[in-house]
Structure 1
Amino acid sequence: MGLFSPPTVEAVRARRWTVFIVSILENMLFAAPLFGAAQQSVISLNGHIFDP
């Protein structure tokens, strides 16, 4: 396999579940703080006191 040749079908299928799990973990790590900040700003805009 050369440097610029595409991966084989077997290699892609072998990596599929690993990539799927890692992508979910990345989404959880990067999106959770954004959702938390948005939730706090919405609560504060509504005038409610949010004390975790």
Structure 2
Amino acid sequence: MTTTSFTAHQTARPQGLPSPDDFTLVRGPVPEPAPGTALVRSSACRGAATRGRC
């Protein structure tokens, strides 16, 4: 299992339509799921996240 998580954080309030400058891609450890929750793997950004584009 992958041990790195990529999360998009909104860093600015968009004026009009959002742009990539309004977000930051944050890399961190995969969290342990809390009781009653699930950890989901998504392939939506596979490859793009490792290049900093998701």
- The interval holding the TM-score normalised by the smaller chain is under 0.3
TM-score (norm 2): 0.21
Bigger CA radius of gyration: 1
TM-score (norm 1): 0.21
Higher normalized contact order (CA 8 Å, seq sep 6+, divided by chain length): 2
Of Structure 1 and Structure 2, the greater strand share is in 2
